[in-house]
């Protein structure tokens, strides 16, 4: 009797359920290492993951194949989630994020402006759910440093409630 298929047969389901997170590949880099047997190619992927409601994370993945590098990068990004302070679709105040040689200027914008940002910054800001912002990369434009500088800038944001709490006052007193 021949196998007719059907049943689970202890195989994992290859269909993926839709994710509640937005996943973006910021940069994909092919690197090769020369050995005595020839060149060994490898890929590194810088990925950003966010829920569009103020939570965002980034991660790096390295592997022999592109798809595997992206999967590892997304897994790493999900482990590094942080919460970003937002205010009416924008940010509470202007800030400069710094990491290594990378500097990113983040400025709040009025509703309707949209996201005015370059590739690496745009990926982080859109994943965080910010809809109105103006940005500018200063100095380095290396995607890894730009993403890390953007994250550092977003983490340093504080709204009136947080400032009032550290000073021991109410937001109205400020």
User: Which residue is associated with the tokens 């440093």?
Assistant: 145
Task: For residue 153, report the phi and psi dihedrals to the nearest 5 degrees.
Answer: -65, -45
pLDDT bin (cut points 50, 70, 90) of residue 6 is very low
The share of the chain scoring above pLDDT 90, in percent, equals 75
Q: Check residues 112 and 10 and name the one with the higher pLDDT.
A: 112
Nearest 10 degrees: Cα torsion 61, 62, 64, 66: 40
Residue 7 has pLDDT above 50, yes or no: no
Structural domains in the chain, CATH included, are 22-79 (3.30.160.20), 84-161 (3.30.230.10)
> What pairing do the DSSP bridges indicate for beta strands 95-99 and 22-35?
unpaired
Q: How far apart are CA 48 and CA 65, in angstroms?
A: 19
pLDDT digits (tens, 9 = 90+) for 62-99: 999 999 999 999 999 999 999 999 999 999 999 999 99
| Whole-Å CA distances, 101 to 30, 89, 144 | 23, 29, 11
pLDDT digits (tens, 9 = 90+) for 11-46: 444 455 567 899 999 999 999 999 999 999 999 999
Q: How far apart are CA 4 and CA 121, in angstroms?
A: 52
Task: For residue 150, report the phi and psi dihedrals to the nearest 5 degrees.
Answer: -65, -45
């Amino acid at each position: 009797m021949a196998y007719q298929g059907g049943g689970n047969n202890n195989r994992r389901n290859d269909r993926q359920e839709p994710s509640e997170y937005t996943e973006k590949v910021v940069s994909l880099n092919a690197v090769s290492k020369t050995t005595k047997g020839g060149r060994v190619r490898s890929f590194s992927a810088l990925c950003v993951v966010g829920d569009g409601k103020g939570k965002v994370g980034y991660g790096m993945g390295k592997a022999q194949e592109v798809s595997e590098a992206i999967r590892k990068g997304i897994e790493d990004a999900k482990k590094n989630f942080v919460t970003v302070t937002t205010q009416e679709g924008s940010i509470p105040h202007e800030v400069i994020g710094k990491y290594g040689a990378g500097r990113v200027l983040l400025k709040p914008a009025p509703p309707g402006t949209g996201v005015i940002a370059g590739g690496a910054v745009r990926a982080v800001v859109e994943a965080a759910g910010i809809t109105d912002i103006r940005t500018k990369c200063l100095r380095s434009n290396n995607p890894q440093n730009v993403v890390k500088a953007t994250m550092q800038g977003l983490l340093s944001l504080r709204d009136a409630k947080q400032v009032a709490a550290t000073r021991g006052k109410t937001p109205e007193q400020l």
